[in-house]
Every structure is written in C-alpha cells, then in structure tokens.
Amino acid sequence: MDTHELWLTALRTAGLYLTLLVVIRLLGKRTVGNFSAFDLLVALMIGEIVDEVIYGDVIFLQGLTVIAVVALLHYGNSWLTYANPFGIEKILEGEPVVIVRNGELARKGMRKERMNESDVLTEMRVCGVEDLREVRLAFIENDGKISVIKHDWARTIQKADLGGEWEDQKKEDTDGEDEPPAAARTVRPQDEED
C-alpha cells in the first residue's frame, strides 16, 4: 500500500468522523444513550458502512448516501413513535413487560422476555431490592432496563414523611393531592391487574 492510499484513507476517515458527529448530534441523545432496538440497528448499519468507506470498498459519496438514508429512516421512526398515529408506538417500540407483581414472579412476562428466576433475582438486587415482597411492580422497559416500583411500606423514607416544612412544601408542590393525577402516573391501571 502506497503513501497516497494511506492519505486517502485518513481523509475518508476524517470526513466520515465529522459527518457522523453531525448526524449523531442531529439525531439526539437517545442515539448514544439508552439503545432501543432501532438505535442499535442504526449504530450497526452506520458502523458497517463506515468500515467499507474507510477502506475504500465503497466510494465516499455512496457511503454518505447510505448514512443520510439511515439517519432519515431513524428520524422518521422517531417521529412516528412520537406522533403515535394508530398506536404505532406499540408496534415500533413495544411495551414494558411486568416480571414481578406484588412480590411474586410474573412467569408470563418472564417467559416473554426469556428470563429465569435467577435472572430476575439478580436484576432485583441490582435495583436495591433485598426482599422480593417489597416489590409492587417490576418492569423490563423498552430499552431493556429494569424499573421497580416498591410497595409504600418498602419505600425509602423521604424528608416530607417527617412532617414540618417538608410536608408543607410537598403539599404546595402537589396541590395537596396524595395521589397523582392520571397524566402524571407512570403505572397504568392495566399494569396492576394480573
């Protein structure tokens, strides 16, 4: 390989680096943060084309075209998920799956996510759960992370629980409501049912 080819490889790499930096910044934090299935797909596709362009197997303009198309498809997917026409978010992104309900393993959800009891218990420990009975609901979220909602009696005590000025501030911030309004709830009624 001659020096000229090495310089071309270096220039292609720099050009792709700058292009991908702009594309990733335009696509938003989700692209580099918590990977969803589509985010991972984008990363794999762009990674593959970058490899081909850097080594000259694909011409630079073709590589840029592929990257632009993948970015547009990803943007379109994100927009459809946001707008959610005809419930398309459920199709494209999926739904959280319950794996623990009221201290009991939710076998149906575990089967759907191909998790065994050991996997669930490990995840509960990672989430700081010492006793499975503390858990009201545990979900596998769309990005694969586990979220846990504990029973009231198992939650960590908050300053507002001690009364005084903290209780007054809590009442002010929540308009004196003990239960959150429907729009502020993270747990839907169907999640609590068996």
Whole-number pLDDT of residue 36: 64
Residue 119 has φ and ψ, to the nearest 5°, of -60, -45
Distances (CA, A) of 126 to 148, 158, 167: 11, 21, 31
Whole-number pLDDT of residue 91: 75
User: What is the mean pLDDT of the segment spanning 90-116?
Assistant: 89
Whether residue 34 has pLDDT greater than 70: no
Whether residue 194 has pLDDT greater than 60: no
Whether residue 188 has pLDDT greater than 80: no
User: What is the mean pLDDT of the segment spanning 176-184?
Assistant: 72
What is the overall mean pLDDT for the chain? 81
Instruction: Please report the DSSP string for 74-95 in residue order.
Output: HHHHHHHHHH-GGGHHHHHH--
Instruction: Please report the DSSP string for 107-150 in residue order.
Output: HHHHHHTT--HHHHHHHHHHTT-SSGGGEEEEEE-TTS-EEEEE
User: What is the mean pLDDT of the segment spanning 84-95?
Assistant: 78
User: What is the mean pLDDT of the segment spanning 39-68?
Assistant: 84
**CB-neighbour burial class of residue 181 (10 A; exposed 0-12, middle 13-18, buried 19+):** exposed
Of 5-14, 115-124, 136-145, 146-155, the one with minimum mean pLDDT is 5-14
* pLDDT tens for each residue of 1-30: 577 877 787 777 778 777 876 776 676 554
Structure tokens at 181: 């309004």
